[in-house]
Structures are given as C-alpha cells and as structure tokens.
C-alpha cells in the first residue's frame, strides 16, 4: 500500500510539472518571454501596424532572434555578465535602428514603452 501511495505521489508531481514545461516549450524553449507570434500580436495591436509594417517588423524581430542565438551559442558560460549585457544592448540598438526605418516616430515611442514594460515584467537577466 505504501509503495502504491508513493508511486501515486510521484505521478501527481510529474503531471503537475508537465504543464509549466509544456508552456515553456511553446514559448520557444525559454523560461521567460513571449514567442515571436505573441510578440507580433501585441505589437500589431499596440502600435497599430499596417499589413506592410507587420511583415517588415516580423522580419526584423526574427533576424534579432537568429542573431541572438548565433552570438550567444557557445559563449554563454565564457562571457562575463557585463559583456553579455553590452552585447544585448548592442543588439537592441541594432533592432531599434532597423525598426525606425519602418515605424513612425509615434510608433517607435510606443515600441520603446513596450520594451521597457517587458523588461520590467521579466526582471533582471538571469545570466
């Protein structure tokens, strides 16, 4: 009977842990943040993007994701925190420069507010 209760408890723990892991997998494997699709939905609504802007903004953000992945692959444990933060700031500046070519000044201001809110929501980086 005790073995059965222990087995049942382990099954319950596994089921309880599966939901957050599945949600994390749906967000692209990250422990935080939004998927590109979720981000595009939020930005399209918040910035009132037209169809052409949606396509261009998606391309820019996808390029940012790929660039981040390439730059950090293999260096995550070898770089100090300050160097990683500087690299993240540089990538964000590059993204904002490209977005400024697509968005109006008003939309850029709303984008910067959105980014600040997302950073505040996430808290400090974990690396």
127 is a domain residue: no
107 is a domain residue: yes
More confident residue, 73 or 43: 43
For 14-32, how does the pLDDT look when each residue is reduced to its tens digit (9 = 90+)? 445 444 444 444 444 444 4
More confident residue, 61 or 28: 61
Same domain, 23 and 57: no
Same domain, 42 and 17: no
CB 67 within 8 A of CB 75: no
Same domain, 24 and 75: no
State yes or no: pLDDT of 52 exceeds 90: yes
Same domain, 78 and 116: yes
Domain count within the chain: 2
| Structural domain range at position 18 | 1-31
CB 26 within 8 A of CB 18: no
pLDDT of residue 77: 67
CB 99 within 8 A of CB 111: yes
Q: How many Cβ atoms from other residues are within 10 Å of residue 91's Cβ? A: 15
pLDDT of residue 20: 44
State yes or no: pLDDT of 121 exceeds 90: no
Alpha-helical segments (H) within the chain: 2-26, 36-47, 51-72, 81-100, 105-122
Same domain, 22 and 39: no
Same domain, 68 and 12: no
Nearest Cα residue to 61 out of 41, 86, 82, 81: 41
CB 57 within 8 A of CB 51: no
- Provide mean pLDDT across the span 40-68: 94
Same domain, 22 and 81: no
pLDDT of residue 71: 80
For 67-108, how does the pLDDT look when each residue is reduced to its tens digit (9 = 90+)? 888 887 766 667 677 877 888 889 899 999 999 999 999 999
């Amino acid at each position: 009977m005790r073995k059965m209760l222990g087995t049942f408890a382990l099954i319950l723990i596994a089921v309880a842990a599966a939901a957050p892991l599945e949600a994390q997998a749906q967000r692209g494997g990250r422990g935080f943040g939004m998927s590109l699709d979720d981000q595009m939905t939020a930005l399209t609504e918040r910035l009132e993007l037209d169809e052409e802007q949606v396509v261009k903004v998606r391309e820019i953000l996808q390029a940012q994701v790929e660039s981040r992945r390439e730059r950090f692959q293999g260096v995550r444990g070898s770089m100090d925190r300050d160097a990683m933060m500087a690299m993240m700031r540089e990538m964000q500046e590059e993204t904002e420069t490209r977005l400024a070519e697509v968005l109006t000044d008003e939309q850029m201001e709303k984008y910067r507010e959105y980014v600040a809110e997302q950073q505040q929501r996430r808290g400090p980086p974990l690396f």
